[in-house]
Amino acid sequence: MRHAALKGSGSYKPDNIVHNRTFEFLVDTSDEWIRSRTGIEKRPVTIDENTSDLAFEASIRALRDASMQAEDIDLIIVATVTGDYFFPGVSQLLQRRLGCGNITAFDINAACTGFIYALEIADQMIKGGRFDTALIVGAEVLTKFTDFSDRNTCVLFGDAAGAMVLTASKAPGIITTSTHARGDLEGYLHMESYPLKKDFQTIEDSRPFINMNGREIFRFATTVIPEVVEELLGHEGMNLDALDMIVAHQANKRIIDKASKALAFPKEKMYLNIESTGNTSAASVPLAIDEAIKDDRLQSGDTFAAVAFGAGLTWGGALITLGGLS
Ligand code: UT7
């Protein structure tokens, strides 16, 4: 049977680092509150690089890690809600800049769950036999849409990109995936687009901003993370002890701690890098996976669950066994 496997990974964070103390000058908050309520200490914030620039740097690193060239890729999927433009997509900018052939390239929007959706789509497209090698990327510049006068959101986000090269393989690297949505809960986390134009009037500059009910998202996340891990294991008749690690969307350290408790899964096997990344939305999971691999926390032969949740509301996960990584 034909499968898809992870051949290489890469990530990129802008050099400019913003520490919690900076927010004390912007809103009524404190380093202590941000650390204790979220686990975040600092986050990368881009100054002059846009989403496609971050995606490009992460992709170059993933290709190098996979010992592959841009010409080897026949599919690009980028998960983002903060593209350089409404159109063209980041995927098409990436395709030109990498120098791939005239291949299939498209963006998807599933917010912070976007990378998991991209992974599921690429896995199915490779298994279907039409595509052999996919570059999948999660890239975000959420700070473009952050209201820096709103303490409920402005302290949370960072900018980054993570990328993976998936190739057709005989062994199942991507063991199984699962994605879900509940549109009825969309009001808990959303960002307005431009308003409809009435009578052809000119729209005054009303920039959209992220709007979130943090408490409800927190409750949602702590329910769906354990659920989706159990669901993925159930697909394969596997137990939790088959997992070497869980890599969850880095939105809040307390969410990850609660999921560990609910699952009775060791805390030290829940990957954490939120202290230095903040919440990077669709970039969060591939960035965390890449950092876990580069730090030798994940090694060839290891099996882990990657899980995410976000606006939509959406959630999902994947079980992955690493093999053949450099
Ligand atoms: O990527 C997916 C999307 N996002 C998430 O997953 C976020 C999920 N939610 C969370 O991580 C947490 O709910 C937050 C970190 C956003 C908030 O933490 P919390 O412990 O749930 O706080 P809360 O919303 O219950 O608010 C408690 C208090 C409120 O004050 P009052 O009403 O009790 O006086 C907030 O106004 O904390 C206040 N607060 C802050 N105080 C200082 C909210 N933000 C801040 C802040 N600094 N930055």
Q: Is 279 a catalytic residue?
A: yes
Q: pLDDT tens-digit profile of 41-74?
A: 999 999 999 999 999 999 999 999 999 999 999 9
215, 220, 258, 280: residue to mutate for ligand 1 pocket, most atoms within 8 A of CB:
215
The two structure tokens encoding residue 56: 């490009």
Q: Hey, whose CA ends up nearest to atom 38 of ligand 1?
A: 152
Distance (Å, whole) CA 85 – CA 183? 25
Q: Which amino acid is at 244?
A: D
Question: How much distance in Å is there from the Cα of 53 to the middle of ligand 1?
Answer: 31
Residue 308 near ligand 1, beta carbon < 6 Å: no
User: Is 186:313 a contact under the CB 8 Å cutoff?
Assistant: yes
- Cβ of residue 148 lying under 6 Å from some atom of ligand 1: no
- If you take atom 10 of ligand 1, which residue's CA is the nearest one? 214
- Give the Å distance between the CA of 213 and the centre of ligand 1: 8
Q: Which atom belonging to ligand 1 lies closest to the Cα atom of 310?
A: 2
pTM of the model: 0.96
- In this structure, the residue with its CA closest to atom 26 of ligand 1 is 215
Distance 37 CA to ligand 1 centre (A): 7
Neighbours of 247 (CB within 10 A): 29
**CB contact at 8 A, 133 and 62:** no
Burial class of residue 170, CB neighbours in 10 A (0-12, 13-18, 19+): exposed
Output the DSSP codes for 43-76: EE--SS--HHHHHHHHHHHHHHHTT--GGG--EE
How many CA atoms lie less than 13 Å away from 214 in the CB half-sphere?
14
How many Cα neighbours within 13 Å face the side chain of 184?
Answer: 1
Residue nearest to atom 23 of ligand 1 (CA): 215
Reply yes or no on whether 249 is catalytic.
yes
Q: Residues 77, 136: contact at Cβ < 8 Å?
A: yes
By the 10 Å C-beta count (0-12 exposed, 13-18 middle, 19+ buried), 117 is classed as: buried
Question: In angstroms, what CA-CA distances link 25 with 30, 31, 255?
Answer: 9, 11, 27
Joined together, the tokens standing for residue 118 give 């991209």
CA of 157 to the centre of ligand 1 (A): 13
* Atom 3 (ligand 1) nearest CA: 310
Query: Given 112, 154, 252, 273, which residue is catalytic?
Result: 112
Task: Please name every residue paired with 194 in a beta bridge, in sequence order, or none if there are none.
Answer: none
Q: Is 180 an annotated catalytic residue?
A: no
CATH classification at residue 5: 3.40.47.10
Q: Which domain holds residue 191?
A: 1-326
Q: How many Å lie between the centroid of ligand 1 and the Cα of residue 123?
A: 36
**How many distinct structural domains can be found in the chain?**
1
Distance CA 152, CA 212 (A): 8
Evaluate: CB of 225 within 6 angstroms of ligand 1. no
Q: What is the full per-residue pLDDT of the chain (326 aa) written as tens digits?
A: 899 999 999 999 999 999 999 999 999 999 999 999 999 999 999 999 999 999 999 999 999 999 999 999 999 999 999 999 999 999 999 999 999 999 999 999 999 999 999 999 999 999 999 999 999 999 999 999 999 999 999 999 999 999 999 999 998 899 999 999 999 999 999 998 887 777 776 666 667 788 899 999 999 999 999 999 999 999 999 999 999 999 999 999 999 999 999 999 999 999 999 999 999 999 999 999 999 999 999 999 999 999 999 999 999 999 999 984 43
**DSSP secondary structure letters along 270-320:** B---HHHH-B-GGGHHHHHHHHHHHTTSS-TT-EEEEEEEETTTEEEEEEE
Q: DSSP letters of 4-30?
A: EEEEEEEEE--S-EEETHHHHTTSS--
Cβ of 284 below 6 Å from ligand 1 = no
Considering the candidates 3, 20, 249, 273, report the single residue annotated as catalytic.
Answer: 249
Query: Which one, of 300, 301, 287, lies nearest residue 55 by Cα?
Result: 287
Radius of gyration of the chain (CA): 19
Q: Alpha carbon 246 to chain centroid distance? A: 14
